[in-house]
């Protein structure tokens, strides 16, 4: 069985590939390194079951055949997708359509990496898959939010029109080793600031919430969703149910690193969601998944990774 993974050199893509190879799949990876890093897949050099294409999947696609397509290519951190707004729109829209066409041609199953961002500034809490969201279509985050919403609409259209075998995974804030320390997301910013004895940058009053999921839990969920024959055409929230404020996150990381840094408050970026927590009852009920790694344990592993890199 062959899997094509786009975004292969990214944080999630590289962990996904490791697990697919471990489970005996042949993997074809594609990445243009717009936000990914060669180091994330360097350990796979020489692995006979892994082939890598340096490709912009908007412009060209690997000429291969696969049984599964995992479309994970897209800048994911707010500063990065705002730095590359057109690229972000295109990889989630045009490239998604192209890859869906390939899935049709190859008779492959298609798994789309969507995001909690499609809920925007949520008026329902926690967010269920049935919630349609509250997104500013022209705000600074819209290249990502609307790109992903277009991607989801494309998947839905291919399911309706061609009965294509597709799944959508709405990923909520995930962290862990192999994140880019300079990607500007909160976990990496705080760890970098603490390890370099810099001030902790809290945006706004720090009362906004997120629910952080460790990468190994996410990968387990992706595999369950991808390989079950039960959930054709379904959309699943995947994330941790442990909701905390950003100030609490700063306090936990301060304790775990043993470094005490001053806090500097910076303005809250426009359209930064004030609350976010997944309702995971669907994935729990249908596939028996929920996150297992505690925030403390996951953050310890992440800190250790950045200390040794």
Give the residue numbers marked as catalytic: 144
Beta-bridge partner residues of 112: 71, 168
- Residue in 109, 170, 185, 277 binding ligand UDP, rule: CB under 6 A: 185
Residue 278 binds ligand NAD (CB under 6 A): no
- Residue pair 203/272 in contact (Cβ under 8 Å)? The answer is yes
Nearer to ligand NAD, 86 or 304 (CB): 86
Beta carbon of residue 185, minimum distance to ligand UDP (angstroms, whole number)? 3
- Residue pair 108/164 in contact (Cβ under 8 Å)? The answer is no
145, 220, 176, 186: CA torsion to nearest 10:
30
- Residue in 17, 113, 155, 202 binding ligand UDP, rule: CB under 6 A: 202
Instruction: Pick one of ligand NAD, ligand UDP, none as the site partner of residue 272 (Cβ within 5 to 8 A by kind).
Output: ligand UDP
CA distance 252 to 272: 22
Query: Helix crossing, 142-162 with 85-92: angle to 10°?
Result: 10
Residue 218 binds ligand UDP (CB under 6 A): no
- Residue in 3, 4, 5, 9 binding ligand NAD, rule: CB under 6 A: 9
Whether omega before 126 lies within 30 degrees of 0, making that bond cis, reads yes
The residue assigned the tokens 């029109």 is 161
Q: How many residues lie near ligand NAD (CB under 6 A)?
A: 30
Residue 238 binds ligand NAD (CB under 6 A): no
Parallel/antiparallel/unpaired status of strands 235-238 and 200-203: unpaired
Residue 124 binds ligand UDP (CB under 6 A): no
Site for ligand UDP in 254-273 (CB under 6 A): 268-269, 272
Positions touching ligand UDP (CB under 6 A) are 77-78, 173, 185-186, 189, 201-203, 208, 210, 246, 268-269, 272
């Amino acid at each position: 069985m062959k899997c094509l993974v786009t975004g292969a050199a990214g944080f999630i893509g590289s962990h996904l590939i490791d697990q697919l190879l471990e489970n005996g799949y042949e993997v074809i990876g594609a990445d243009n390194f717009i936000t990914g890093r060669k180091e994330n897949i360097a350990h796979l050099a020489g692995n006979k079951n892994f082939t890598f294409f340096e490709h912009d999947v908007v412009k060209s696609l690997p000429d291969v055949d696969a049984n599964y397509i995992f479309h994970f290519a897209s800048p994911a951190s707010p500063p990065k997708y705002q730095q590359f707004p057109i690229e972000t729109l295109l990889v989630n829209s045009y490239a998604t359509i192209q890859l869906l066409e390939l899935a049709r041609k190859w008779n492959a199953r298609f798994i789309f990496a969507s995001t909690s961002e499609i809920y925007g500034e949520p008026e329902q809490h926690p967010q269920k898959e049935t919630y349609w969201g509250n997104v500013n279509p022209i705000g600074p985050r819209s290249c990502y939010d609307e790109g992903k919403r277009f991607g989801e609409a494309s998947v839905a259209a291919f399911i309706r029109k061609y009965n294509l075998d597709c799944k959508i995974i709405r990923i909520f804030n995930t962290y862990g080793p192999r994140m880019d320390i300079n990607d500007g997301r909160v976990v990496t910013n705080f760890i970098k600031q603490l390890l370099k004895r810099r001030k902790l940058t809290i945006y706004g009053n720090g009362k906004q919430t997120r629910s952080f999921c460790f990468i190994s839990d996410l990968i387990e969920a992706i595999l369950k969703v991808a390989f079950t024959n039960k959930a054709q055409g379904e959309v699943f929230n995947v994330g941790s149910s442990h909701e905390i404020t950003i100030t609490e996150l700063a306090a936990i990381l301060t304790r775990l690193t043993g470094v005490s840094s001053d806090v500097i408050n910076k303005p809250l970026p426009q359209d930064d969601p004030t609350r976010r927590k997944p309702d995971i009852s669907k994935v729990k009920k249908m596939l028996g998944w929920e996150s297992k790694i505690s925030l403390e344990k996951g953050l310890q592993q992440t800190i250790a990774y950045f200390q040794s890199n």
